[in-house]
Amino acid sequence: MSALRGPVLRTRQLAVGYAGKAAATIEDLDLVGGVVWHVTGPNGSGKTALLKTLAGLLQPVSGRVERPCGMGRGGAIYVHSVPYLFAGSVQRNLDLSLPAPEEARVIATEFGLSTLLEREARSLSHGEQRRLALARAIVGRPSLLLVDEPEGGLDEDAIAAWRACALRTVEAGQPALVVAAHHPCALEDVPVCEVRL
Amino acid sequence: MSPATSQAIDLMFAEIGRALLLIAGGDVEVWQVTGVSFGVSVTAVAAAVALGLPATYLLAAAGPRSTRIGLWAAHGLAALPTVVVGLTLYFMFSASGPLGWTRLLYTRAAMALAQLVLALPMIVAVVLGALHRLPPAARESLATHGVPWTRQMGWLLWEVRSAIVTGTLLAFARAFTELGAALIVGGNIRGATRTLTTFVALEYNRGDDARAIAVGLILLTVALVTNSLMQAVLVER
């Protein structure tokens, strides 16, 4: 693990939730690149609210989030548990964060999407759509990647690609990876820090 | 069937026959008036699209409260009586009105402006409703991928493109077939501001039923084509 790097995100006395109502209070976190954080907890415990708050999509109910990296390409990117794919081809969705063409091609191949680039994104199977959402986030080269329930509907190949992505994160020292999941089998071989809600 | 009824039906078919001959024979005034109608309505609807889409996006982006207020206002204004719009603009553009200096009264520009007022709420109501129905994940996906707001507008409007087409066709149908505003601010001036609807009203008053029917048939055709296009868009969706 690369704990020597500076944090890409800090939280202090953070409470998260919706419409000003706290769903969870969070221990102080210092997220650094190359570390995988596994957020776990029962349904309704605030996992999604925490990830969206860390991503900058929700305001904290109280406390503060220090995120020097900002949102988007090179910053924090959040992947929904039910991803929204835009009308048009797989390639159009991969180009959302304006990656270099070669970069998008490599990630698409890793996630088994290289033969589907011209297909209408919404015509893909559920598992393929999840793979596309993960690939779309990774081509944005985030320094903080937040993934909500990544394994629902993924087949073994896709889970292997996702595991490879997590392992590469640890080896490369970036990004900081936060995963909300009940039992993420892809992370079994990956050293993780647990955040229990 | 009484002889009087039979005679009336024969007369009607004879007038429709004369009307079709007028259209097929290229009655100069009928086609000139059709051209003015299209010119004014297309200008008004193009302006309504150009103004309406960015305004609608900004309303939707400002949050659910502004969206609700925008929907309420747009639905209310979409039901504005055309004569009220015509009268309001008449008082503004009349010689003693606040905009009298523009000398726009009884011009095609004033008619296009009146039709813009009628068309804009239709486009805003339909497109804003569609944007409001998009899942929150659509906007969040753009934000989290760092897409700047100018590109976000393009991406989200593309998601609701069939609503844009539907709203535009509805707005065109409203503008093209309205009578009250065109009559009041246009003045039905021959060769200048006479449109299909004001022409029908004039010919009916003059008792030239064939010409009134000819122009009515053109209006009916445009309404049917617009409606068919709208149905095609909805089916494709």
Closest CA to B172 of B131, B130, B122: B122
CA distance B148 to A54: 20
Residue B235 predicted with pLDDT over 70? yes
Chain A: nearest CA to B129, how far in angstroms? 18
Closest CA to B176 of B27, B53, B44: B44
Q: Which residues of chain B are at the A interface, by a Cβ-Cβ cutoff of 8 Å?
A: 135, 137-138, 140-147, 155, 158-159, 161
Instruction: Tell whether A97 is covered by a domain.
Output: yes
Picking from B135, B137, B145, the nearest residue to A72 by CB comes out as: B145
Quick check: A119 and A94 in contact, CB under 8 A? no
Instruction: Tell whether A2 is covered by a domain.
Output: no
What pLDDT shows up at residue A2? Answer: 41
| ipTM given for this complex | 0.90
In chain B, how long is the greatest CA-to-CA distance? 77
**Percentage of residues of chain A with pLDDT beyond 70:** 97
- Quote the radius of gyration of chain B (alpha carbons, Å): 21
What pLDDT shows up at residue B115? Answer: 97
Instruction: Tell whether A48 is covered by a domain.
Output: yes
Determine the structural domain holding residue A92 and report its residue range: 7-196
Q: Given this structure, which CATH class describes domain B14-236?
A: mainly alpha
What pLDDT shows up at residue A3? Answer: 42
8 Å CB contact of A86 and B158: yes
Chain A: nearest CA to B72, how far in angstroms? 24
Q: Which residues of B touch A87 (CB under 8 A)?
A: 158-159, 161
pLDDT one-digit tens code per residue, A59-96: 999 999 998 777 877 889 999 999 999 999 999 999 99
SS3 call for A179: strand
* Lowest pLDDT segment from A134-148, B14-28, B171-185: B14-28
Chain A: nearest CA to B212, how far in angstroms? 46
Chain B contact for A136 (CB, 8 A cutoff): yes
Q: Looking at per-residue confidence, does A153 or B124 come out higher?
A: B124
Q: Looking at per-residue confidence, does A66 or B14 come out higher?
A: A66
* Lowest pLDDT segment from A130-139, B80-89, B130-139: A130-139
CA distance B219 to A46: 59
Q: Which residues of B touch A94 (CB under 8 A)?
A: none
Chain B contact for A44 (CB, 8 A cutoff): no
The residue in chain B having the minimum alpha-carbon distance to the alpha carbon of residue A97 is B145
Amino acid letter, residue A197: L
What pLDDT shows up at residue B81? Answer: 95
Residue A154 predicted with pLDDT over 90? no
The CATH number linked to A40 is 3.40.50.300
- Most confident option among A109-123, A169-183, B219-233: A109-123
pLDDT one-digit tens code per residue, A124-146: 988 889 889 989 999 988 999 99
Picking from B137, B146, B158, the nearest residue to A84 by CB comes out as: B137
What pLDDT shows up at residue B84? Answer: 96
Residue B164 predicted with pLDDT over 90? yes
Q: Mean pLDDT across the stretch B140-157?
A: 94
What pLDDT shows up at residue B236? Answer: 66
Q: Looking at per-residue confidence, does B112 or B235 come out higher?
A: B112
Picking from B138, B143, B147, the nearest residue to A57 by CB comes out as: B143
- Quote the radius of gyration of chain A (alpha carbons, Å): 16
φ/ψ of residue A38, rounded to 5? -110, 110
Quick check: B191 and B32 in contact, CB under 8 A? yes
- Residue written as token pair 């989290």: B144
Instruction: Tell whether A105 is covered by a domain.
Output: yes
Show Cβ contacts of residue A108 under 8 Å, excluding neighbours closer than 6 positions. A90, A94, A114, A117, A135
Q: Mean pLDDT across the stretch B110-121?
A: 97
Q: Looking at per-residue confidence, does B234 or B35 come out higher?
A: B35
The mean pLDDT value of chain B amounts to 92
pTM over 0.95: no
What are B65's two structure tokens? 């409260």
Q: Residue B24 belongs to what H/E stretch?
A: helix B3-24
| E strand intervals along A41-175 | 62-66, 76-79, 144-148
Picking from B147, B159, B161, the nearest residue to A96 by CB comes out as: B147
Residue A1 predicted with pLDDT over 60? no
What are A43's two structure tokens? 């349904």
Chain B contact for A131 (CB, 8 A cutoff): no
Quick check: A148 and A51 in contact, CB under 8 A? yes
Chain B contact for A99 (CB, 8 A cutoff): no
Chain B contact for A71 (CB, 8 A cutoff): yes
Residue B225 predicted with pLDDT over 80? yes
Residue B92 predicted with pLDDT over 70? yes
Q: How far is CA B119 from CA B6, B123, B125, B217, in A?
A: 42, 7, 10, 23
pLDDT one-digit tens code per residue, A22-64: 999 999 999 988 888 999 988 889 999 999 999 999 999 999 9
Q: Mean pLDDT across the stretch B12-35?
A: 83
The residue in chain A having the minimum alpha-carbon distance to the alpha carbon of residue B151 is A96
The residue in chain A having the minimum alpha-carbon distance to the alpha carbon of residue B141 is A84
**Into how many domains does chain A fold?**
1
